[in-house]
Amino acid sequence: MADRANLKVDIARILEADCRLSPDEIGRMLAVPADVVAREIAEMEASGAIVRYSARINWDKLDGPERVFAFIGVQATPEREVGFDGIARRLVHFPEVHSLYLISGAQDFDVVLQGSSMRDIAHFVARRLAVIPGVRSTATQFVLQTYKRDGDVLMDAEKPDRLSVTP
């Protein structure tokens, strides 16, 4: 029997690994009735704990339009009252901003940008990012190759062989 106090965490872990599993299957895996699982999921959706359901794509395997990623280290001057949040608020809604982190160290923000070309990204940095009041400097690093993302290894490592029948 799953520990009820951690039921949401257990369900979230399972969904994070495979969001196509049904409440029925998850219920089986955790020895909990399916309707209980469905209710917990609904609650997590309502509270925003579950943000959305999506698939992990290895874009290198698809002949789609090119996607370019870059990490931009940003140094900024915090504002009175809001600190760094004001700058963050200016940035988060751009579709080009894939992720945005406030970080410790020499830089203040790490902005992950996603664009269709290097020019696209250079353009965004120059026209949108560097000009935000309070932004003192930017350092752009383009991604050349993705080996692992969000826990998934994207290198073509061969699958280890296993015998099909063993004692």
Partner 1 sequence: MAQVTPTDGRPATSKEVGRRARVAPRVASLPPSGIREFFDLVQTMDDVISLGVGEPDFRTPWHVCDEIIDSLERGRTAYTSNQGIIELRTAISGYLQRLYGVEYDPNSEVLVTNGVSEGIDIAMRATLCPGDSVLVPEPCFVSYSACAWLAGGEAIPVPTRIENGFRLRREDLEAAVRPNTRSLMLGYPSNPTGAVMTRAEMGEVAQFVLDHDLLVYSDEIYDRLVYDGHQHVCFATLPGMRERTILLNGFSKAFAMTGLRVGYTCAPADLTEAMCRIHQYAAMCCSTSSQIGAAEALAHGEGEVQRMVADYDQRRRLLVGALKDMGLDCFEPQGAFYTFPSIRSTGLTSREFASRLLEEERVAVVPGTAFGPCGEGHVRACYATSRENLRLAVDRIRRFIDRLH
Asked if residue 120 binds partner 1 (CB under 8 A), the reply is no
Find the shortest distance in angstroms from Cβ 7 to partner 1: 13
Asked if residue 166 binds partner 1 (CB under 8 A), the reply is yes
Find the shortest distance in angstroms from Cβ 160 to partner 1: 6
Joined tokens for residue 135: 């932004």
Comparing CB distances to partner 1, the nearer of 13 and 136 is 13
Joined tokens for residue 9: 């965490």
Asked if residue 160 binds partner 1 (CB under 8 A), the reply is yes
Instruction: Look at phi and psi of residue 25 and say left if phi exceeds 0, alpha if psi is from -120 to 50, else beta.
Output: alpha
- 114 in Cβ contact with 68 (< 8 Å): yes
Q: What x-and-dash track marks residues 2-41 binding partner 1 by CB under 8 A?
A: ------------x---x--x---x--xxxx----------
Comparing CB distances to partner 1, the nearer of 92 and 153 is 153
Can you spell out the DSSP letters for 52-108? -------GGGS-SS--EEEEEEEEEPPBTTTBTHHHHHHHHT-TTEEEEEE-SSS-S
Comparing CB distances to partner 1, the nearer of 13 and 119 is 13
Find the shortest distance in angstroms from Cβ 96 to partner 1: 34
Chain-centre distance for alpha carbon 143: 16
Helix axes 23-30, 7-17, angle to 10 degrees: 120
Find the shortest distance in angstroms from Cβ 42 to partner 1: 21
Binding site for partner 1 (CB under 8 A): 1, 14, 18, 21, 25, 28-31, 160, 162-167
